[in-house]
Amino acid sequence: MYWDKDIETMTASALRDLQLRKVNDTLARARNSKYYGQLLAKLGVGQLASLSELEQLPFTTKDDLRAGFPYDFLAIDRQDCVRLHSSSGTTGIPTVVYYDRFDVEMWASLVARCMYMTGARPGDVFQNMMGYGLFTGGLGFHYGAEKLGMLTVPAGPGNSQRQLWFMRQFGTSVVHVLPSYAMHLQTACAEAGMDPKRDLSLRIAFIGAEPHSVEIRQKIEAFYGLKAYNSYGLSEMCGPGVAFECPQQEGMHIWEDAFYAEIVDPRTGRVLDDGAEGELVLTTLAKHAMPLLRYRTRDLTRLSREACACGRTHVRMDRIMGRSDDMLIINGVNLFPVQIEKVLMKIPEIGRNYLIEVVKQDYMDKLIIKVELDGNAFQGTLDQLEHLQRRICDKLRTELVVTPTVKLVEAGSLPVSEGKAKRVYDLRKAE
User: Which residues sit at the interface with ligand AMP, rule CB under 6 A?
Assistant: 87-88, 136, 208-211, 230-235, 239, 297, 299, 320, 323, 329, 334
The string of DSSP codes covering 102-123 is HHHHHHHHHHHHHHHHTT--BT
Using the minimum distance from each CB to Zn ion, give the nearer residue, 246 or 292.
Answer: 246
| Closer CB to ligand AMP, 234 or 371, in the complex | 234
Tell me the three state secondary structure of residue 374. Answer: coil
The β-bridge relationship of strands 424-426 and 350-361 is parallel
Q: Residue 88 binds which entry of ligand AMP, Zn ion, none, with Cβ cut-offs from 5 to 8 Å by kind?
A: ligand AMP
Min separation Cβ 172 and ligand AMP, Å: 21
Q: How many CA atoms lie within 13 A of 192 on its CB side?
A: 19
- Quick one: what does residue 131 bind among ligand AMP, Zn ion, none, with the CB cut-off 5 to 8 Å set by partner type? none
Q: Which does 128 bind (CB under 5 to 8 A by kind): Zn ion, ligand AMP, none?
A: none
Cα 122 from Cα 38, distance rounded (Å): 46
Q: What residue 357 binds from Zn ion, ligand AMP, none (CB within 5 to 8 A, per partner kind)?
A: none
DSSP per residue over 5-35, as a string? HHHHT--HHHHHHHHHHHHHHHHHHHTTSHH
Q: Which is nearer to ligand AMP, 10 or 114 (CB)?
A: 114
- Whichever of 26 and 230 has its CB closer to ligand AMP, that residue is 230
| Alpha carbon distance 128, 167 (integer Å) | 11
Distance of CA 126 to the CA centre of its chain: 20
CB of 308 to Zn ion, least distance (A): 3
Residue 168 beta carbon to ligand AMP: minimum distance, rounded to whole angstroms? 28
Shortest gap between Cβ of 141 and ligand AMP (angstroms)?
12
Nearer to ligand AMP, 256 or 349 (CB): 256
Q: Which lies closer to ligand AMP via its Cβ, residue 60 or residue 230?
A: 230
CB of 248 to ligand AMP, least distance (A): 16
Give yes or no for a contact between 2 and 268, defined as CB atoms under 8 angstroms apart: no
Question: Between vectors from CA 256 to CA 253 and to CA 261, what angle results, nearest 5°?
Answer: 85
Distance CA 79, CA 81 (A): 6
Q: From the list Zn ion, ligand AMP, none, which binds 230 (C-beta under 5 to 8 Å, kind-based)? A: ligand AMP
Q: Given the complex with Zn ion, which of 304 and 405 has the nearer CB atom?
A: 304
Which of Zn ion, ligand AMP, none does residue 209 bind to, with CB < 5 to 8 Å depending on kind? ligand AMP
**Nearer of residues 38 and 248 to Zn ion, judged by Cβ:** 248
Task: Name the residue nearer to ligand AMP (CB basis): 178 or 293.
Answer: 178
Rg of the chain on CA atoms, in Å = 23
334 binds, among ligand AMP, Zn ion, none (CB under 5 to 8 A by kind): ligand AMP
| H-state helical runs in 124-242 | 136-148, 160-170, 179-191, 196-199, 214-224
Is the Cβ of residue 300 or residue 308 nearer to Zn ion in the bound state? Answer: 308
167 binds, among ligand AMP, Zn ion, none (CB under 5 to 8 A by kind): none
Min CB(383)–ligand AMP separation in Å: 39
CB of 24 to ligand AMP, least distance (A): 26
Query: CB of 115 within 8 A of CB of 240?
Result: no
Q: How far apart are CA 65 and CA 399, in angstroms?
A: 19
Work out what residue 308 binds among Zn ion, ligand AMP, none; the CB cut-off runs from 5 to 8 Å by kind: Zn ion
Please give the Cα distance from 68 to 321 (Å, whole number). Answer: 29
23: left (phi over 0), alpha (psi -120 to 50) or beta: alpha
Residue ranges in contact with Zn ion by CB under 5 A: 246, 248, 308, 310, 312
CB of 116 to Zn ion, least distance (A): 13
Least separation, in Å, of the C-beta of 221 and Zn ion? 18
How many DSSP H helices and E strands does the chain contain?
Answer: 12, 21
| Contacted by 211, from Zn ion, ligand AMP, none: CB < 5 to 8 Å by type | ligand AMP
Q: Are 375 and 191 in contact (CB under 8 A)?
A: no
Beta-carbon contacts of residue 336 (< 8 Å; ≥ 6 apart): 90, 325, 326, 327, 328
Closest CA to 206 of 180, 179, 225, 186: 179
Pairing mode of beta strands 333-335, 405-409? unpaired
Give the shortest CB-389-to-ligand AMP separation in angstroms.
29
